[in-house]
Chain A
């Protein structure tokens, strides 16, 4: 048996097809979910993918957070369902208060697309178990609003509880506090990050690395053995 992993398409989602492909490459079954639909089609986990949901003209993720599908995603995430937010998905998760903090415009004010080096800080979440803590990986990064910010107390809490899941190495590409690239909730079922693991699953495509594949194999193993 395999796991069914949903990928939500909001208007303006861009990486929905890519994410479904990554899930398939990992051996799980991707399920397309629609923003107007509260029904999650009995998926075992959900990925909120990258893009500019609803154009992101107000604030990245601010509108998407109120879409019908998110009502269910928020309830299910609180009940323990694994949810991964990539880029715009991460922004939506912070807007939905499933993860703390928020994202501001990159400090250099430009869109940036690069192959980014990261360190895996937490390999105990639902989405990172196939990594080892301290592992250094390369994952493509591409965003306009990627500067992670949170108040000092939240940052201290994240650091103290080991909830910084990924940190930028070599270059901090957007001015994120504490070089934070991704975080997890306390339970480890909700993870968000700015870089795009779905763009690093095939050796021939993009940067030619497959460092992103463990996200999808991690969740598959967790769901299948659970």
Chain B
């Protein structure tokens, strides 16, 4: 493209720039005008960070270079506050034959057998979703899906762990419906089944909802693609949507203050999604992969072209030369800085050998996707970007993509932590009569966090692609990946901010344990972990301590369970004023199942089957749903963590599924046993008679949240075989009841009809939100 002279930007304010011979801030110009002040502070760089850029370049950066460094060195892209802690995921990574691609690529890749590889990842889109719930959530889905495509995989499912403010707060009624509609509106149009996730309400998320999005993709081993540009002469192709002014944020400052005061500078900082364009992008990318046309590939997400070019170039063997004039634009008045920083959605960047370029472009044309050669891989080690014939960027791409600042932020155990832990939930008043116990059960299963989320999940397509074996409200989502063999994968995401607030180390491990358990209860073997770490401001030592503890807990836990962290995302600054959110590490566990026909669902399906409780129940109410619902209390210690027990429980559940010994299984977590029993009963439309086991009181039996537990429904014919297996391997298995009738009855205490329970459990969310 070209510009007419009349559309060139007017002269900038800055004295030195005005005096300069050229209006374009080229590398040459930057070297000749060392004293020009650039708006580095407005772009979010600290003084020492800016000085570091100058030191790296040996001169002041051009405006375009500054744009790239500022966005790539942002917390979001560089992980500068979290990096020193995240290293543990690599250092403590357990030996795993399953791991094909680890941390550092767009998403981790795991071997699931039969020649298949699975890639999965969870990311946050928290802040945009608060500002503009629909588009924020929609583009969150779009971004994570592009990460999956960029690995060479066909996306096969999405999951959405969500956190909102109090369910009855007026702003929740603004944010939640928009987020849910955005996730649905985007994901449904892509043809991706939404198979899992969570919805949690807590007033700590009032001004900081958490919108995490996860995706899974499947490919053959040989189809794994990486984000690297190698082979001098290979072409760099930008394809997908045109580049517009959306999602620029800081670049507008640069553009308006340094180069062009005349044009509209306040552009929306939240990007706008076009799922139709993304669907085309998926299909055309997969077709190009299938024909082996792609050497390296990167999606354009945060930091747009700045990120894609610098990462592709720094991960490859050579350098890269890009002509920015060739980027197809939605708005011809965009400055080069804005083009580099634009976060316009639905764009990808591929590196293609010259002789394959024509075929690549043909495929794009077939799908009506705009594709343009914007540069090529070079022999050198520099990333050079040209605009109107002038060189406006000349950097070592590693310094942009990988050598960002690293902070050892101070951290300290908060002064209030001891007091919080001393405020023991086990000492809260407990129900004294059967009638009180019954009332509290109804109150619990009808509380917003424990209530059915069907009103939300029915806005997501979970049938598309025709491979969904299990979807929410099952313990994990499960997708068949091979029709002939029945090979499948399962995914569960969990995270309990209340537990993590009481003890971030244990809280992170409990999140891991719950997700691990949820995968195992459906019969799949847990293989690997992805995480989304949502915390407050890293500049607050108390928050930084929570973060450090949570990462340490998760890394230790993954080591012990043998499930490596394959990648993930950190979201900091989730805080309004002094008030940070609860530390909320969300953990996704991916599992594999040899034959999905062997999966175990949650629902009680057959009368007469025996209900067994697996694991030990202790008096553990710290952070529990009961303490929140009945007493609005948060204090004490979270449940004990015993990962060896989790592993044993998992092995038993998987064996029992495989050998047909159980017909239903449900993990016990928030809400305790009664919550799980009610869900299994309602889903199957079958009642259950429970007997409080010896050594436990009814209250503890029903409401304790001890970890490492599950309930299973065992056909009578399998009882001996099942209990023998548990006995031989040392897992406590207690017969607690039988599937029967149309009430949930605790003998000697109370009975609630399924109709009463259903009204309480399913009525809450529609009443609040519909």
Q: List the interface of chain A (C-beta within 8 A of B).
A: 11-12, 14-15, 17-18, 21-22, 50-52, 54-57, 108, 110-114, 140, 142, 144, 196, 198-199, 201-202, 204-207
Q: List the interface of chain B (C-beta within 8 A of A).
A: 181, 184-185, 188-191, 274-277, 279-280, 367-368, 457-469, 480, 483, 596-597, 770
A92 CB → nearest B CB, Å: 16
Contact B459 A57 (CB under 8 A): no
Contact A205 B480 (CB under 8 A): yes
B278 CB → nearest A CB, Å: 10
Q: A204-B469, A205-B468 are in contact. List 16 more A-B contacts (CB 8 A).
A: A11-B276, A11-B367, A11-B368, A14-B464, A18-B466, A22-B466, A52-B279, A54-B276, A112-B458, A113-B463, A142-B188, A142-B461, A202-B466, A204-B596, A206-B463, A206-B466
Contact B191 A15 (CB under 8 A): yes
Chain B residues lying within 8 Å of A18, measured Cβ to Cβ, are: 464-466
Roughly how many angstroms separate A92 CA and B770 CA in the complex, as a whole number?
A: 30
B136 CB → nearest A CB, Å: 18
Closest to B279 in A: A12
Roughly how many angstroms separate A188 CA and B480 CA in the complex, as a whole number?
A: 36
Closest to A109 in B: B181
Contact A113 B460 (CB under 8 A): yes
Task: For B463, give its contact among A17, A108, A112, A142 (CB under 8 Å).
Answer: A142
Chain B residues lying within 8 Å of A12, measured Cβ to Cβ, are: 189, 276, 279-280
Chain B residues lying within 8 Å of A112, measured Cβ to Cβ, are: 458-459
Chain A residues lying within 8 Å of B188, measured Cβ to Cβ, are: 52, 111, 142, 144
Cβ contacts A to B, 8 pairs, < 8 Å: A18-B466, A52-B276, A111-B461, A113-B459, A113-B460, A142-B461, A142-B463, A205-B469
Task: For B185, give its contact among A21, A111, A201, A207 (CB under 8 Å).
Answer: A111
Roughly how many angstroms separate A207 CA and B188 CA in the complex, as a whole number?
A: 18
By secondary structure, the A interface counts as loop
Chain A residues lying within 8 Å of B368, measured Cβ to Cβ, are: 11
Contact B467 A205 (CB under 8 A): yes
Roughly how many angstroms separate A142 CA and B185 CA in the complex, as a whole number?
A: 12
Contact A199 B466 (CB under 8 A): yes
Roughly how many angstroms separate A11 CA and B459 CA in the complex, as a whole number?
A: 23
Chain A residues lying within 8 Å of B274, measured Cβ to Cβ, are: 55
Chain A residues lying within 8 Å of B464, measured Cβ to Cβ, are: 14-15, 18, 50, 142, 199
Chain B residues lying within 8 Å of A14, measured Cβ to Cβ, are: 189-191, 279, 464
Closest to B467 in A: A205
Roughly how many angstroms separate A18 CA and B277 CA in the complex, as a whole number?
A: 21
Contact B466 A205 (CB under 8 A): yes
B73 CB → nearest A CB, Å: 36
Contact B189 A55 (CB under 8 A): yes
Roughly how many angstroms separate A177 CA and B367 CA in the complex, as a whole number?
A: 37
Chain A residues lying within 8 Å of B185, measured Cβ to Cβ, are: 111
Roughly how many angstroms separate A18 CA and B460 CA in the complex, as a whole number?
A: 17
Closest to B188 in A: A111
> 9 nearest interchain CB pairs?
A55-B276, A14-B191, A18-B466, A199-B463, A111-B184, A142-B461, A111-B459, A140-B463, A52-B189
B331 CB → nearest A CB, Å: 20
Contact B181 A11 (CB under 8 A): no
Chain B residues lying within 8 Å of A11, measured Cβ to Cβ, are: 276, 279-280, 367-368
Interface centre among B181, B191, B466, B469 (most CB of A within 10 A): B466
Contact B275 A55 (CB under 8 A): yes
Closest to A108 in B: B770
A141 CB → nearest B CB, Å: 9
Closest to B464 in A: A14
Task: For A113, give its contact among B279, B367, B458, B480 (CB under 8 Å).
Answer: B458
Roughly how many angstroms separate A146 CA and B188 CA in the complex, as a whole number?
A: 15
Roughly how many angstroms separate A14 CA and B483 CA in the complex, as a whole number?
A: 19
Roughly how many angstroms separate A140 CA and B275 CA in the complex, as a whole number?
A: 23
Chain B residues lying within 8 Å of A140, measured Cβ to Cβ, are: 463
Chain B residues lying within 8 Å of A110, measured Cβ to Cβ, are: 181, 184, 459
Chain A residues lying within 8 Å of B469, measured Cβ to Cβ, are: 204-205
* A11-B368, A142-B188 as given contacts; A17 in contact with B458, CB under 8 Å: no
Chain A residues lying within 8 Å of B279, measured Cβ to Cβ, are: 11-12, 14, 52
Roughly how many angstroms separate A112 CA and B184 CA in the complex, as a whole number?
A: 10
Chain B residues lying within 8 Å of A198, measured Cβ to Cβ, are: 466
Roughly how many angstroms separate A207 CA and B601 CA in the complex, as a whole number?
A: 12
Chain A residues lying within 8 Å of B184, measured Cβ to Cβ, are: 110-111
A69 CB → nearest B CB, Å: 14
B482 CB → nearest A CB, Å: 13
Closest to B194 in A: A113
Closest to A57 in B: B276
Roughly how many angstroms separate A205 CA and B465 CA in the complex, as a whole number?
A: 10
Chain A residues lying within 8 Å of B367, measured Cβ to Cβ, are: 11
Contact A17 B276 (CB under 8 A): no
* A12-B276, A111-B184 as given contacts; A204 in contact with B462, CB under 8 Å: no
Closest to A114 in B: B458
Chain A residues lying within 8 Å of B460, measured Cβ to Cβ, are: 111, 113
Chain A residues lying within 8 Å of B468, measured Cβ to Cβ, are: 205-206
A179 CB → nearest B CB, Å: 19
Roughly how many angstroms separate A204 CA and B486 CA in the complex, as a whole number?
A: 10
B522 CB → nearest A CB, Å: 13
Contact B181 A111 (CB under 8 A): yes
A56 CB → nearest B CB, Å: 8
Closest to B191 in A: A14
B584 CB → nearest A CB, Å: 27
Chain A residues lying within 8 Å of B465, measured Cβ to Cβ, are: 17-18
Roughly how many angstroms separate A51 CA and B190 CA in the complex, as a whole number?
A: 9
B220 CB → nearest A CB, Å: 17
Closest to B456 in A: A110
Chain A residues lying within 8 Å of B275, measured Cβ to Cβ, are: 52, 55
Contact B191 A51 (CB under 8 A): yes
Chain A residues lying within 8 Å of B463, measured Cβ to Cβ, are: 113, 140, 142, 196, 199, 206-207
Roughly how many angstroms separate A17 CA and B597 CA in the complex, as a whole number?
A: 21
Chain B residues lying within 8 Å of A15, measured Cβ to Cβ, are: 191, 464, 466
Roughly how many angstroms separate A172 CA and B287 CA in the complex, as a whole number?
A: 40
Chain A residues lying within 8 Å of B276, measured Cβ to Cβ, are: 11-12, 52, 54-57
Chain B residues lying within 8 Å of A111, measured Cβ to Cβ, are: 181, 184-185, 188, 459-461
Roughly how many angstroms separate A202 CA and B469 CA in the complex, as a whole number?
A: 10
Chain A residues lying within 8 Å of B189, measured Cβ to Cβ, are: 12, 14, 52, 55
Chain A residues lying within 8 Å of B596, measured Cβ to Cβ, are: 204
Task: For A21, give its contact among B458, B459, B466 (CB under 8 Å).
Answer: B466
A44 CB → nearest B CB, Å: 23
Interface centre among B277, B280, B462 (most CB of A within 10 A): B462
Roughly how many angstroms separate A56 CA and B275 CA in the complex, as a whole number?
A: 11
Closest to A54 in B: B276
Roughly how many angstroms separate A54 CA and B275 CA in the complex, as a whole number?
A: 10
Closest to B177 in A: A110
Contact A113 B461 (CB under 8 A): yes
A3 CB → nearest B CB, Å: 20
Roughly how many angstroms separate A112 CA and B368 CA in the complex, as a whole number?
A: 30
B682 CB → nearest A CB, Å: 15
Interface centre among A17, A50, A196, A206 (most CB of B within 10 A): A206
Roughly how many angstroms separate A114 CA and B458 CA in the complex, as a whole number?
A: 6
